Structure 1
Amino acid sequence: MTIRKWFHLFWTTLALGAATTLIVGVLMLLTDKSFSVFGWSGFGFNLFNMMLVGLLIGAFSQMGFFAYLTVNYIALSVFRKAYLWNALQAYTTIFALGFLGYILYGAREDLGNVVFWALPLGLAAVSWAVGAWKSRITNNHAFIPTLFLMVVVTAIEAWPSFQPGDDGSVSTSAILFMMAPLVVCNAYQILLLHRITGSRKAVDAPEAKTA
């Protein structure tokens, strides 16, 4: 990966995070009055703040992405056999989805009786679609690592949004506001990775290490 390619990935991820955050933020403003800090009189200021938050989320997503690439590289060296690392990733992904549902179930009085199962299922569906597409454009070994990134890494990155706010409640709007750009940014990065590295075996290159 050259500096030029990394810089392209960096600024496009930031831009994508800002754009997604703006779209989700406007929808939140239209549907959730409590989401607006300064009301409609400060609509422009709200949009500016959302753009800044989106840039930060894009940068945060990229930090998590490169952290996963580092962990993936180390794990392949430790486990030696790629299928062992993939099996651990698959188990962790399933556990993370169940744990996410459990956390949301505990906050169902704030979130409602739909979010605690709809959010994990929605995340799983989107992650499955991204994993299937990644496998199609690269190879079948990319499916599990992509699922792990989209579910586990995204959930870890979005963890602050699951914490109670100043009023002691968990907000659905806050969760969606943070998770949506993270999902989009993580999907964008993993789908673009093989083009940047010039290889169709990007995060899942076990053959080169275990052959």
Structure 2
Amino acid sequence: MNSRKVVYLFFSTLLIGSLSGTIVGFILDYQVYIEDTFLNLIFGLIWLMGISAAFSLISQMGFFAYLTVHRFGLGLFKSQKLWNAVQIIIIVFVIFDLIYFRFLAFAEPGETIFGYFLMPLLLLAYGLIIAYIKAKDTNKGAFVPALFFIVVITTIEWVPALTVNDTKWLWLYVTPLLVANTWQLLVLHRLTRA
């Protein structure tokens, strides 16, 4: 992949992630941005674009870190099947942790653990869809790495918002992460082919 394609990947990911976060952030706090002057709206949108751009940059760092870890894992385990099995085990642990540890940290007295199932299961379902698309576009061996990237790496990148447990921040943070991660994952093989 030449430098022009790397620059394209960087800026397209930044733009797509920033726009997605800005749109979701605006929808989540619509009243705050329109209640005062026009400048309030403009500065609010600039702030949303900036914070979403920062999340998109985190996504890009996670993507290139995963590419390195993936190569390291393939070399360490000497077999794609074994490395895929390790990744599946890690995915299961991450989904469990998203449910159980968030329940331990944030549950109110009398609250059941079932309320903490929705977010991790939605992330897993989204990861399965994206992994299926990636495998269909490339080869079936890409399914588990794509699922691992969407579930595990996105969760690692999402940790600062997960520790706050504010619904607005959870959505504002995860939207650019998921959009940027999905874009990078689905466009990389097209860039490397051409």
TM-score (norm 1): 0.83
2:153 aligned with 1:179, yes or no? no
Which segment drifts farther, 135-144 or 41-50? 41-50
Deviation at 1:184, TM superposition (A): 1.0
The one-letter code of the counterpart of 1:172 is T
Give me the CA root mean square deviation. Answer: 2.0
Relative CO higher for 1 or 2, CA cutoff 8 Å, sep ≥ 6?
A: 2
Q: Which residue in 1 is equivalent to 2:138?
A: 138
Q: Determine the C-alpha separation between the residues in 2 that align with 1:171 and 1:131.
A: 28
Q: Which residue in 2 is equivalent to 1:75?
A: 73
2:89 aligned with 1:91, yes or no? yes
Q: Determine the C-alpha separation between the residues in 2 that align with 1:115 and 1:123.
A: 15
Matched-pair contact (CA < 8 Å) for 1:101–1:120? yes
The one-letter code of the counterpart of 2:94 is A
The one-letter code of the counterpart of 1:160 is P
Higher helix fraction: Structure 1 or Structure 2? 2
Deviation at 1:115, TM superposition (A): 5.2
Matched-pair contact (CA < 8 Å) for 1:104–1:115? no
- Deviation per CA, 1:3-28, whole angstroms, max 9, x where unpaired? 00000000000001111111110121
Equivalences for residues 1-211 of structure 1 within 5 A: 1-30=1-30, 36=32, 40-41=35-36, 42-106=40-104, 107-109=106-108, 116-164=116-164, 170-198=165-193
Q: Determine the C-alpha separation between the residues in 2 that align with 1:108 and 1:192.
A: 39
Q: Determine the C-alpha separation between the residues in 2 that align with 1:104 and 1:27.
A: 26
Mark the CA change 1:140 to 1:58 in structure 2 (over 3 Å): closer, same or farther.
same
- Deviation per CA, 1:114-147, whole angstroms, max 9, x where unpaired? 7521101110111000001111111111000001
Residue identity (%)? 35
Q: Determine the C-alpha separation between the residues in 1 that align with 2:126 and 2:35.
A: 33
Structure 1: stretches of 5+ with no match in the other structure: 165-169, 200-211
Q: Which residue in 2 is equivalent to 1:205?
A: none
The one-letter code of the counterpart of 2:149 is L
Deviation at 1:103, TM superposition (A): 2.8
The aligned length equals 188
Structure 2: stretches of 5+ with no match in the other structure: none
Q: Determine the C-alpha separation between the residues in 1 that align with 2:116 and 2:16.
A: 27
Mark the CA change 1:100 to 1:49 in structure 2 (over 3 Å): closer, same or farther.
same
